[in-house]
Amino acid sequence: MTYLEFVGEDKTRGVAESSKFWQVTQEGSKLTIVFGKIGTNGQTTEKSFSSSEEAKIEMDNLIKSKLKKGYQEKTK
């Protein structure tokens, strides 16, 4: 499981102060993504892939994208 948080100005959405989280968990060929405002349960989405390797590649790409946007890895 990878848990990331973003706190600060969200220039992509034009919001002066943002406080949100994003979490991804891989179970075999399935990714479960939970995201939302810090302090809430957030929303959950699931993505299925044809193999666990394909899911891992997608997970790594999603994590890189979030880190590039300013998210930081935290311990939940």
Q: What is the pTM of this model?
A: 0.88
C-alpha dihedral, 34 to 35 to 39 to 41, nearest 10°: -40
Per-position pLDDT tens, the chain of length 76: 999 999 987 766 666 788 999 999 999 999 999 999 999 999 999 999 999 999 999 999 999 999 999 999 998 7
pLDDT of residue 28: 98
Task: Determine the Cα–Cα distance for residues 1 and 21; give it in Å rounded to an integer.
Answer: 13
For position 15, what pLDDT does the model report?
66
Q: How do the domains of the chain map onto residue ranges?
A: 2-68
Match domain 2-68 to its CATH number in 3.40.1190.20, 1.25.60.10, 3.40.50.300, 2.20.140.10: 2.20.140.10
